[in-house]
Amino acid sequence: MADFWDKEELIGKLGKNSREEIQIKVVEKKDKKYIDIRTFWFDSNADEFKPSQKGVAIPYDSLDDLKNLINSIG
């Protein structure tokens, strides 16, 4: 999605299965920051992971709320 976002920084990856992974990035578009959590699929022809439409971009100013929700699990 490098063509869509003005800036992006990979924070981490989680394996989903042998052909998919979840990537978490801090991204920016028109001077607004987001946390992008998205499923990427492996394109064997290009030998790389590519973004799917399965994901969400959460406004960066909601980061504390997101952390609190995750911490409330379990």
57 domain residue, yes or no: yes
45 domain residue, yes or no: yes
39 domain residue, yes or no: yes
User: In which band, very low, low, confident or very high, does the pLDDT at 74 lie, cut at 50, 70 and 90?
Assistant: confident
**Residue 62, domain extent:** 7-71
Q: Any idea what the CATH number is for the domain that residue 36 is in? A: 2.30.31.10
12 domain residue, yes or no: yes
Is the distance from CB of 27 to CB of 33 less than 8 angstroms?
yes
Taking only the tens place, the pLDDT of each residue in 5-44 is 999 999 999 999 999 999 999 999 999 999 999 999 999 9
2 domain residue, yes or no: no
Strands 32-43 and 48-59: antiparallel
State the total domains in the chain: 1
Task: Say what the pLDDT of residue 1 is.
Answer: 59
